């Protein structure tokens, strides 16, 4: 049959340079074909493989504003869903001299994303908790509670979590002492006369002789009420 023809075939170079200004690249795809039909491994063709990347120049970068992105950070979670972030800054490029400027100057350009989700591996079963409830007391010691559940990756209930790592579902809170109420005292020097004269029905005397009037009302509630209604 004779030797089979194996030839390098290349697509046309991309029309667009990878850089809007300055030095960039144009690309193409190279394949090894036999009889112009069958795709072969790239090491089957003889001769040097044609290049797939070539340089291009879009002209000097003068007074060019562009976004510059830094590398992505590591994932925030060792397993399951996490987040990774990167820094994005606005660059003023003037013939390869770059300067960081205020981001508002690049507001007319599409801004690259600064955060994305990441997932390294499934976590397996793990403990999940709700937020703590409000404390049962505002002072002198109370308690608060939360729900604790063992869940698998598909959020199905499981009993395979490590019991020794079970999060607390109840804890004490607001252990500080309650503030003392201010002591009520009579502001009038002779409140007994006010009580005897049955003047406690008036708001003024009730306020300046609050202790004596209160004690009198507890001792003679019906009398105080009758006097109040009569007057």
Q: What's residue 42's pLDDT?
A: 60
The range of the structural domain enclosing residue 132 comes to 126-173
In a domain, 182, yes or no: no
132 and 160 both lie in a single domain? yes
In a domain, 200, yes or no: yes
112 and 132 both lie in a single domain? no
Higher pLDDT, 40 or 196: 196
Q: What is the 3-state secondary structure (H, E, C) of the chain?
A: CCCCCEEEEECCCCCCCCCCCCEEEEECCEEEEECCCEEECHHHCCCCCCCCEEEEECCCCCCEEEEEECCCCCCCCCCCEEEEECCEEEEEEECCEEEEECHHHHCCCCCCCCEEEEECCCCCCEEEECCCCCCCCCCCCEEEECCEEEECCCCCECCCCCHHHCCCCEEEECCCCCCCCCCCCCCCCCHHHHHHCCCCCCHHHHHHCHHHHHHHHHHCHHHHHHHHHHC
> pLDDT tens digits for 70-128?
999 999 988 888 999 999 999 998 877 889 999 999 999 899 999 999 988 888 899 99
Counting the structural domains of the chain, the total is: 4
In a domain, 184, yes or no: no
68 and 46 both lie in a single domain? no
197 and 220 both lie in a single domain? yes
51 and 78 both lie in a single domain? no
Give the global pTM.
0.45
């Amino acid at each position: 049959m004779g030797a089979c023809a194996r030839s390098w075939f290349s697509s046309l170079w991309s029309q667009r340079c990878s850089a809007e200004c300055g030095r960039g690249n144009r690309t193409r795809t190279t394949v090894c074909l036999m009889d112009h039909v069958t795709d072969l491994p790239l090491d089957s063709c003889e001769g040097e493989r044609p290049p797939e990347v070539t340089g291009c120049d879009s002209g000097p970068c003068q007074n060019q504003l562009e976004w510059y992105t830094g590398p992505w950070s590591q994932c925030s979670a060792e397993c399951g869903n996490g987040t990774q972030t990167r820094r994005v800054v606005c660059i003023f490029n003037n013939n390869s001299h770059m300067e960081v400027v205020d981001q508002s100057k690049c507001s007319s350009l599409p801004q690259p994303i600064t955060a994305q989700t990441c997932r390294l591996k499934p976590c397996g079963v793990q403990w999940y908790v709700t937020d703590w409830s409000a404390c049962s007391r505002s002072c002198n010691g109370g308690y608060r509670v939360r729900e604790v559940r063992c869940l698998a990756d598909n959020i199905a209930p499981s009993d395979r979590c490590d019991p020794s790592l079970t999060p607390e579902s109840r804890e004490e809170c607001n252990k500080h002492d309650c503030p003392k109420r201010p002591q009520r005292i009579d502001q009038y020097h002779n409140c007994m006369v006010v009580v005897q004269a049955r003047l406690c029905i008036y708001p003024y005397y009730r306020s300046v002789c609050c202790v004596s009037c209160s004690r009198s009302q507890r001792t003679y509630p019906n009398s105080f009420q009758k006097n109040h209604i009569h007057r």
